[in-house]
Amino acid sequence: VAKSVFHKSVLYKEVLEALSVRPGRTYIDATTGGGGHTRGILEFGGKVLGIDVDPGAIKYVAGVFKVPLKEVEGRLVGESEKLTIVQGNFADLKRIAERFGVWEASGILFDLGVSSHQLGEAQRGFSFQQEGPLDMRMDPHLAVTAADLVNGLNEGELDELFSKYGEESAGRRLARAVVRARVKKKIETTMDLAEIVERVVWKRGKIHPATRLFQALRIAVNDELNNLKKGLVEATEILNKGGRLVVISFHSLEDRIVKNFFKERADLQVLTKKPIVPEEEEILANRKARSAKMRVAEKQSAESRK
Ligand SMILES: C[S@@+](CC[C@H](N)C(=O)[O-])C[C@H]1O[C@@H](n2cnc3c(N)ncnc32)[C@H](O)[C@@H]1O
């Protein structure tokens, strides 16, 4: 397991096994985050292009691997012999890779969602357990925050957002509560919103009632599902024959996209009929791992059929 406290890598050994890293080959870590999986690939002798949309993650990884950073076309970039790190969105994976000299990859990893670091930084607004501005942008260049959505969308739009992206059965009641609350006072902080939710939805088991609604807002603010769809297409294009595409998702909306994408592509052979999930021991040591599902596919030649 990665030593960093920035983020504890999920399914660490399973990812490295699935990527089946070969020395000297190039791998893309599309969500380098705290650099945990990146480190594993490097330790197996692979070269890595690490991408993350969050400049904070790129700065952290640059520090860990002692790669000097510079700005190239408005992005933070660090280049060393074995590791290149680039601030960017994996929706542009192919363009970013080619821009930094990677024309094909022997394996590509997506470890989706937020890092523990992002969740723990109250200022980022990802967590309903800490008071902070209702922001939720992974990329600070984005124009619209979660606060803009909860204060700006109408009741019908909020219902749709909560229901669709939060898979929330109480979407309508929550939308009404949000609209009623914001007439009295603009909803500005994570706690403002969590309190509104707590008034409307009861706690279900161990899961906090605001979990799904925060998930919905995060997906919308960062356009996560569309980025994932684009990223998977681009990754498949740049993957070598025999190369592995490894995706870890943390909720059913993402997992469904990955599962269907793998199934639909004639040039991908699915290696995981059922997703790989963390062992109990890992879940006990890292609660964030509990909802992780990893799917793996291998790139076939264009002619070969499934
Ligand atoms: C779960 S963390 C990855 C942790 C990493 N695998 C490790 O071992 O430390 C997910 C990371 O993906 C990044 N991310 C999310 N969406 C992205 C996107 N569309 N493009 C690039 N990075 C993204 C987040 O900023 C976050 O740092």
The finding on whether 209 has its CB within 6 A of some atom of ligand 1 is no
The finding on whether 90 has its CB within 6 A of some atom of ligand 1 is yes
Pairing of strands 268-270, 293-299: antiparallel
The finding on whether 234 has its CB within 6 A of some atom of ligand 1 is no
The finding on whether 235 has its CB within 6 A of some atom of ligand 1 is no
Q: What is the pLDDT along the chain (306 residues), one digit of tens a residue?
A: 344 468 899 999 999 999 999 999 999 999 999 999 999 999 999 999 999 999 999 999 999 999 999 999 989 999 999 999 999 999 999 999 999 999 999 999 999 999 999 999 999 999 999 999 999 999 999 999 999 999 999 999 999 999 999 988 889 999 999 999 999 999 999 999 999 999 988 776 777 889 999 999 999 999 999 999 999 999 999 999 999 999 999 999 999 999 999 999 999 999 999 999 999 999 999 988 999 999 999 999 866 555
* Cβ neighbours, 10 Å, residue 147: 22
- pTM score, two decimals? 0.95
Residue 9: which of 51, 40, 45, 50 has the closest Cα? 40
The finding on whether 53 has its CB within 6 A of some atom of ligand 1 is yes
Atom 20 of ligand 1, residue of closest alpha carbon: 89
The finding on whether 190 has its CB within 6 A of some atom of ligand 1 is no
Q: Using the Cα atoms of residue 86, residue 88, residue 93 and residue 94 in order, give the sign of their dihedral.
A: negative
CA pair distance 225, 231, nearest whole angstrom: 10
Ligand 1 geometric centre to CA of 56 (Å): 11
Ligand 1 geometric centre to CA of 164 (Å): 22
Atom 2 of ligand 1, residue of closest alpha carbon: 115
Q: What is the dihedral of CA 57, 61, 63, 69, to 10 degrees?
A: -80
Mutate to test the pocket of ligand 1, among 31, 95, 142, 247 (most ligand atoms within 8 A of CB): 31
The finding on whether 163 has its CB within 6 A of some atom of ligand 1 is no
Q: Using the Cα atoms of residue 249, residue 252, residue 253 and residue 255 in order, give the sign of their dihedral.
A: positive
172 phi-psi bin (left φ>0, alpha ψ -120 to 50, beta other): alpha
Look up residue 67 and give its two tokens. Answer: 């790669």
The finding on whether 52 has its CB within 6 A of some atom of ligand 1 is yes
In this predicted structure, what is the pLDDT of residue 1?
36
Look up residue 233 and give its two tokens. Answer: 């297409």
The finding on whether 232 has its CB within 6 A of some atom of ligand 1 is no
CA pair distance 217, 164, nearest whole angstrom: 11
Ligand 1 geometric centre to CA of 55 (Å): 11
